Amino acid sequence: MFDLLDDQRQEFRDTLREFCRKEVMPGAARRDAEAEYPATLVSRLADMGLMGITIPEEFGGLGLDMVTQVLAMEEVAYADASLGSVFAGHYLGMETLRQFGSSEQRKRYLPGLATGSYRVAFALTEPDAGSDISRIRTRATAGPDGWTLSGSKTFTSNARESDGLVVFAMTDPDAGFRGITAFLVPTDAEGLGFSSPIEKLGIRGEHAYEVSLDGVQVERGATLGEPGGGGRIALEVLNSARIDVAALANGVAMRALDLATGYASTRIQFGRPIRELQAIQLQLAEIDTLVQSGRLNAYHAAALRDRSEDVRRAGSIAKYVASENCFQAVDKALQIHGGYGYVKESEIERLYRDCRIFRIYEGTSQIQLLTIAKLLAQLHDRHGTVV
C-alpha cells in the first residue's frame, strides 16, 4: 500500500501480524471483560525485540525508524487496543530517555528499555493540569543531596507495572511553563504511592493510576535535561507520541473495516449478502476511505520524524485525522452489524469502547486543531504561504 513499506518492513510486519493474530487476538475479549493487564504478552513483545524498535543498536535496540514503529503499533492495536496502548505507553517513557537523557543515563537505562527488563511510565497529567501543563502543582525542592518531590499525578498509564516514572514537577513556580523540570523517579521510592487501577470505559487491560508523591527523595542526577526544561521535553515527546496514537487508532479502524466487510459478506437479507445492498456498499466504502486517509497521515508524519523534521503540525494532523476517522469507522461498522454489533459478545462493541480514548489522550482533538491553527499562522507570517 505504501511506498515506505519496503521488503524489510513487509517481512517485519508479516512476522508481527502472525504473532498478533494467533496469540493476541484470541484472548482479547476475556482480558477486556476481566480488565486484565496483559503481562505475558508484554513479555512476548519484549522477547521479539519490539520494546526497542528505535533504540540504537549500540544500546541493544533494533536501530530501526519510526515508520517501522508505526507499523508495529498498527498491528498490535488491530489485535488488542489495550495491549497497543501499553505498548505505546512504553515508548512514551522510553522516548523521554532516548531523546533527553544524559550520556550516562542513556548508557544506564536504554539497554534495559530495549529488552523490556526496565520500564518507564510518563507522569505528566494532574487533576488540574491536563492540556495546560503550566498549571502543574507537583513541586520539587532542591536540597544538599538531591531533590524532594511532593504532589500528585493522574491517568498515569503503566505506573505500577513500571520500574521508573518520568515525573514533571515545578522547580520554579513563578516561571510557569519554564519552571517545569523532568525527573526520573524509581517506582519503589519511599513516599511514592499508587491507587488501584482507574475504572475506564475501554482499553481496560491497560491500567492507569493516580500517583501520589509525599516527600519523595531523588538524587541530584535524577533530572532529565536541564532544570526548567521539562515543559519543552514534555511537548517534544508528545509530538512523537501523537503519531503513535494515530497508529493505534488506525489499527483499530483497520480491524473495524475487516469486521464490517466480513459480516456484510455472510449476513443474508432479502436473499443475498448485505454487501450487495447499495446502502451497505456506501458505508463500507466510507470506512475504507477513513482507514486509508488515517494511515497515510500517520506514515507521512513518521517519515518526517525520521528525517528529523519538525513534526508538530504533521503529528497533530495525523493524530486528529486518525482518531476522528477511527471513531467514525467503528461507528459505521457497528451500524452495519445492526443489533448484533450492540451486544457485549460482539467484538465491534469492544472496539466502540476502546476507540473513544484516542480523541482525548496525548491532547484532545480540539487541542490538535488549535495547535494546527497556530502553526498555520506562523507559516503564513514567515513565508507568506502555508503549502
Rounded to the nearest angstrom, the gap between the alpha carbon of residue 237 and the centroid of all alpha carbons in its chain is 11
Catalytic-residue membership of 11: no
Residue 311 makes CB contacts below 8 A (sequence gap 6+) with: 239, 240, 243, 301, 304, 305
Q: Under 8 Å CB-to-CB from 334, ≥6 apart: which residues?
A: 341, 342, 348, 349, 352
Following CA atoms 183, 184, 190, 195 in sequence, which dihedral angle do they give, to the nearest 10 degrees?
90
Handedness of CA 125, 129, 130, 131 (dihedral sign): negative
Residue of 74, 126, 349, 362 with catalytic role: 362
Strand partners, 157: 208
Is-contact 347 259, C-beta < 8 A?
yes
Specify the length of the chain in residues: 387
Within 80-205, where are the H helices? 81-100, 103-115
The grid coordinates of residue 215 equal 516527600
Residues taking part in catalysis? 362
